[in-house]
Amino acid sequence: MKTDYKKYKNWFVIGTILLVIILIIRKIKQRNMITDIIDKLPRRGQYAQRSIEAIDKIVIHHSASPAGRFTMYDFANWHIDPGGRLKAPGIAYHFGIDPDGKIYQSNKLTSQSWHAGNGNPSSVGVVLNGNFENEIPSDAQKKSLKYLIRFLRRKLKKKLTVFGHREIPGNLTACPGRNLNLEEFRM
C-alpha cells in the first residue's frame, strides 16, 4: 500500500503545482485585460467625487463614430473642448472598449463623470468604439464587455444593472444604437 501512495504522490504534487501555475497565469492575464489610461488623457479639471457604494448600474454607450476611427484620447479631447458641446473636466466614460476588444479605464470609479445625465451619480459609463446604428459591435467587443461587467460586479461586490444610455430617464438619444443587443449583457 505504501508503494502505491509513493507512486502517486509525485503525480499529485506535480498536478497541484501545475494547477497553481495555471491559476496564477490566468489571474495575471485578467489583470492585464484592462489598461489604465486615467493619467494619460487630457483634462481641464476634476469631476465631483462619489463613494463606491453609490454605484448601482452600468450604462452602455457607443461612440457614434466609425469603429476604430478615433481613440479614447480623441474622445477625451472632444469632451474637454471649451468650444464643444460637453465642456467636461475630462472624458465622460469610465471605460472604453475598442473594436479589437482592448479595454481602457479612463476615469476612477469614484469620479462622477458626465455620461448619462440623471444616471451620473450612480453609474459607471462604458463606451464601445463604433456606431451601432450603422455597424454591429465586434465579437471581441462583446466578449470584453461581458468580461468588464463581471469584473465590475466582483470588484464592487454587487449586482449592477445594465442599461443603455437611451434607457436612462431624461436622455433623448438612440445610444448605444439599434445594433447592440443589450439583453445579451443583462446576465
Q: State residue 3's pLDDT score.
A: 59
Q: What is the pTM of this model?
A: 0.84
Q: State residue 12's pLDDT score.
A: 80
How distant is the alpha carbon of residue 22 from its chain centre? 25
C-alpha distance from residue 148 to each of 31, 64, 69, 117, 126 (Å): 11, 21, 22, 22, 9
The CA distance from 180 to 139, in Å, is 11
C-alpha distance from residue 184 to each of 86, 100, 114, 163 (Å): 30, 19, 25, 11
Q: State residue 17's pLDDT score.
A: 87
Closest CA to 165 of 148, 187, 182: 182
Q: State residue 187's pLDDT score.
A: 80
The enclosing H or E element of 104 equals strand 103-105
Contact 152, 123 (CB under 8 A): no
| 184 bridge partner residues | none
Each residue's pLDDT, cut to its tens digit, for the chain (187 residues) gives: 555 666 667 778 888 888 888 887 766 665 568 999 999 999 999 999 999 999 999 999 999 999 999 999 999 999 999 999 899 999 999 999 999 999 999 999 999 999 999 999 999 999 999 999 999 999 999 999 999 999 999 999 999 999 999 999 999 999 999 999 999 999 8
Q: Where are the domains of the chain?
A: 1-32, 34-185
Closest CA to 109 of 93, 97, 98: 93
The CA distance from 111 to 46, in Å, is 8
Q: State residue 139's pLDDT score.
A: 96
Residue identified by cell 501512495 is 5
Q: Which CATH topology does 34-185 take? A: Lysozyme-like (3.40.80)
Q: State residue 183's pLDDT score.
A: 97
Burial of 58 (0-12, 13-18, 19+ CB in 10 A): buried
